[in-house]
Amino acid sequence: MPHTADVLIEAWGRSLEEAFEYAALGVTEVMTDLKAVRPLEEVEITAEGFDLESLLYDWVEKLIVLFDSHQLLISKAEVESIEVDPEGRYKLKARVWGERYDPERHESRALVKAMTYHMMDIRKDGELYKIRFVVDI
């Protein structure tokens, strides 16, 4: 019988964009040692949501799909913008860098299967933006 588990990821940054960048790196750290992943390939990503939580959900799901479809582990993320359009929808534009999973180079920790809304929290705390979310492994 398949066993599923959850992993809590926490990220923070001096801006909302930086916190989203570290959230992406947290996903990689669940799967392998981030320090072993080189920034060899660049991919542009856009994400959308009706609020910050759904934006974060879409962002992390797109990173999971990159690994599922191309075996791409992320080593660097640069969120260029998080904006709200005239209809009130949140839009994120980013670039990520990484390399394809190589079992000879990358320790296999856990496969991130899905993003969840469980325990999700995005807040500004003093000078920092703090993000907390759970992924299924």
Instruction: State pTM to two decimals.
Output: 0.95
Q: Is the pLDDT of residue 3 over 80?
A: no
Q: What is the pLDDT of residues 46-67, one digit of tens each?
A: 999 999 999 999 999 999 999 9
Please give the helix or strand (H or E) that residue 114 lies within, else none.
strand 114-115
Q: Give me the domains of the chain, ranges plus CATH numbers.
A: 11-131 (3.55.10.10)
Q: How far apart are CA 30 and CA 23, in angstroms?
A: 11
The count of C-alpha atoms lying within 13 angstroms of the C-alpha of 60, restricted to the half-sphere facing its C-beta, is: 30
Q: Which amino acid is at 126?
A: G
* Number of Cβ within a 10 Å radius of residue 74: 26
